[in-house]
A = this chain, B = another copy of it.
Amino acid sequence: MTLAASILANDRLALSRLLTQIENNTQEGRKALDMLFPYTGRAALIGVTGAPGTGKSSLVNHLARYYRHPAEGEQARRVAIVAVDPSSPFTGGAILGDRIRMRDLSGDPGVFIRSMASRGSLGGLARATSAMTQVFDAANYEVILIETVGAGQAEVDIARLAHTTIVVEAPGMGDEIQAIKAGILEIADILVVNKADRPGAENTERALRSMLEIGHPRSSRHFQDNQGSSPNQMLPASHDEQEMWIPPIQRTVSTEGTGVDKLAALIDQHQEYLRRSGGWQQREQARLKVELHAYLEEALLSRWRASISEVLYQDTLQALFERKLSPQEAVERLTASI
């Protein structure tokens, strides 16, 4: 049986092996990915991001537990967690993360947890994460939680990868941290104030709310419309609401799981909104396109590598080092023959 077939047959060991192949970017892994691709496109991808110390991991654990043991009347869903740590490119923090989680959710065959530290480029990390979500998707994990640490480009990349992006804040993280999040807020579909039992939770929520008003001016415009001062009030308000998603703010205490059920409900609402509005398909296609272009760049580079003589390359590099050629002139020389 091929690796891909074993995974479709729900073989956990095969799944684990493929994830390692993907991390190492092997030929075998790529082949299996190709075979699994037609079985993808069903899972809900949920990105969870926020600064260190906000309690993201514990929140993700509780979300996973909720999906396994939901409120009465709802079906349990199979859950995968991909925990990405792009801020530790060198050390093995990922392994520690695995161990801490294991105690929480181990033994449940409907849960699979994989963590991954950054290796080499951030681009490579994004590609590996994307590939892993496809494997989980094909292996019939219905919810895939993608957790990342840090503040910056990694979050934006998650937003492109996930259907629903959750940004986690916590009280007492300092003013400057809040300010810096202004950009990140704009990628949030749902905001969480975690550690909401701590002093300052109200301030954090208020700060988030005022930042939301800056970041989503449509929400305040919408509010004005309801005041009846705009000619747009003639339009059916329900239509307007259907097309607009204003990121809600949910308080949680992830150590105790408080508010996690409400957060899960908000996630469902967002995903229903995406399906209604066409946003789901839009995000899927944007994601596939990004992935296509990543593979394309790789393919073009490897073709170029095969076409160029080592002597010409070394010679050009030397001329660059001696500043006889500029980087752009060097590229012209290196691509003249293809």
Contacts and interface: CB of A to CB of B under 8 A. Distances in A.
Interface of A: 30, 33-34, 37-38, 40-41, 52-53, 86-91, 93, 118, 121-123, 149-154, 156, 174, 176-177, 179-180, 182-184, 186, 284-285, 288-289, 291-292, 295-297, 299-301, 303-304, 317, 320-321, 323, 326-332, 334-335, 338
Query: What 9 pairs between A and B have smallest CB-CB spacing?
Result: A37-B326, A88-B183, A122-B153, A87-B152, A300-B300, A52-B176, A90-B183, A295-B331, A53-B176
Nearest to A335: B299
A152 B183 contact: no
Given A122-B122, A288-B327, A292-B317, 11 more contacts: A86-B152, A87-B151, A90-B186, A93-B182, A93-B183, A150-B151, A288-B320, A292-B320, A295-B327, A297-B301, A303-B335
Nearest to A54: B176
A327 B87 contact: no
Instruction: Give the number of times this chain occurs in the complex, counting copies.
Output: 2
19 contacts: A30-B328, A34-B329, A37-B326, A38-B323, A52-B176, A87-B151, A87-B153, A87-B184, A89-B152, A90-B183, A150-B180, A152-B152, A288-B321, A289-B320, A292-B317, A292-B327, A296-B304, A299-B332, A300-B301
A288 B328 CA distance: 11
B91 A37 contact: no
A295 B123 CA distance: 16
Contacts of A184: 87
A289 B313 CA distance: 11
Given A288-B321, A300-B304, A335-B296, A150 B152 contact: yes
A273 B152 CA distance: 33
Contacts of A91: 182-183, 186
A215 B153 CA distance: 26
Contact of A327 (B291, B328, B334, B338): B291
A153 B33 contact: no
B52 A321 contact: no
A303 B41 CA distance: 32
A289 B304 contact: no
A94 to B, nearest CB: 11
B326 A118 contact: no
A118 B180 CA distance: 13
Contacts of A93: 179-180, 182-183
Contacts of A300: 297, 300-301, 304, 335
A330 B299 CA distance: 11
A160 to B, nearest CB: 11
A338 to B, nearest CB: 8
A15 B332 CA distance: 26
Nearest to A52: B176
A298 to B, nearest CB: 8
A152 B118 CA distance: 9
A327 B287 CA distance: 11
